[in-house]
Amino acid sequence: MFARLAIVLALSVPVLVLQAQPRPRKIFISVDMEGITGVVQPAQLGPDGFEYQRAREWMTGEVNAAIAGIRAAGAADILVCDSHGNGQSLLIDKVPEDVRIVRGFPRPLEMMQGIDDSFAAAVFIGYHASEWTANAVRGHTISSARLLGVRLNGMEVSEGIYNAALAGQFGVPVAFVSGDRLAVAQIQQIAPSAEGAIVKEPYGYHSANTVTPARGQAMIRDGLTRAMAKLGSLQPYRVTTPVALEVGFKLTIDAERAAFIPGLARSDAHNVKGTFRDMTEVTKLLQVLTSLELP
């Protein structure tokens, strides 16, 4: 009798433990720099800029605010994808020690490296609007130096929309975006339920009316807590496959060379187009196209 009871207890206790401690949800954070509070010019955007080291602190502060907001709504495993410039802008020793960080380029999924179908949501911090958005702070798509815009199935996309489509391939919805007003509005066109924090009112490519870093971080923390409350109702953004890709180049010689790649053909002097299996394939191709040596 006692022996049988002991067996029953031994079998049931681990089951109870599992039920009491569900696996923490997984949240993917992709962080860029042009849409961080206070950032308006190259002075903040790269190692040669006089204010880059400060901008790294603001960026790290916004990522940590996002993590705090996510965790205020419940336990979460978090992967941060450092996605600006050299992929090494985040001050990793200032991030909570149980967070993992993706650093450095190149990598197959670029600004979304590490995303897979185990994540509950994607979060975009410091994002900016697209190449064809007038008066947005640092509006460009993937490469401000090389590209003249990217179209997916005929629609001009921002990096945010592009990365939402990449996350959508894995069934992961976008829960939150921060950046200037135009960047946030552009994402919310395809992810209307995503929460946003508008940390800057843009005046143009190199000027904005910005909140302070402390205020921006508070907005992001609160926004993430709101976003986590509606996780169950968010829908992934899925583009139809195969994906019709059109890429514009600032230099016509870049379009000329891109059209040498099997599957791509010239649509006009600046543009090439082709149809590819899915967003993963398109993402790898775009990285090769933007890393061609300058003619």
Binding site for Zn ion (CB under 5 A): 32-34, 84
Sign of CA dihedral 180, 181, 186, 190: positive
Residue 282: CB minimum distance to Zn ion, A: 19
d(CA 168, CA 235): 9
Cα–Cα distance measured from residue 291 to residue 39, given in angstroms and rounded to the nearest whole number: 25
Residue of closest CB approach to Zn ion: 84
Find all residues with CB under 8 Å of 50, minimum gap 6, and list them.
Answer: 43
Of 39 and 272, CB closest to Zn ion: 39
CB of 84 to Zn ion, least distance (A): 4
**Nearest CB to Zn ion, comparing residues 33 and 272:** 33
Backbone angles phi, psi at 244, to 5 degrees: -85, 115
CB of 168 to Zn ion, least distance (A): 21
The residue among 125 and 258 lying less far from Zn ion, judged by its C-beta, is 125
Q: What pairs with residue 249 in β-bridges?
A: 147
Shortest Å distance, C-beta 34 to Zn ion: 5
If you compute the radius of gyration of the chain from its CA atoms, what whole number of angstroms results?
A: 21
Which of residues 34 and 180 has its CB atom nearest to Zn ion in the complex? 34
Complex with Zn ion: residue 32 or 246, whichever CB lies closer: 32
CB of 26 to Zn ion, least distance (A): 24
Decide: 23 and 76 in contact? Cβ < 8 Å: no
Q: How far apart, in Å, are the Cα atoms of 80 and each of 26, 92, 164, 240?
A: 11, 10, 16, 27
Closest separation in Å from C-beta 219 to Zn ion: 20
Q: Among residues 42 and 242, whose Cβ is nearest to Zn ion?
A: 42
* Min separation Cβ 204 and Zn ion, Å: 17
CB of 32 or CB of 180, closer to Zn ion: 32
Cα distance between residue 67 and residue 278, in whole Å = 30
Alpha-carbon gap, residue 256 to 268, rounded angstroms: 10
Question: 41 burial class (0-12, 13-18, 19+ CB within 10 angstroms)?
Answer: middle
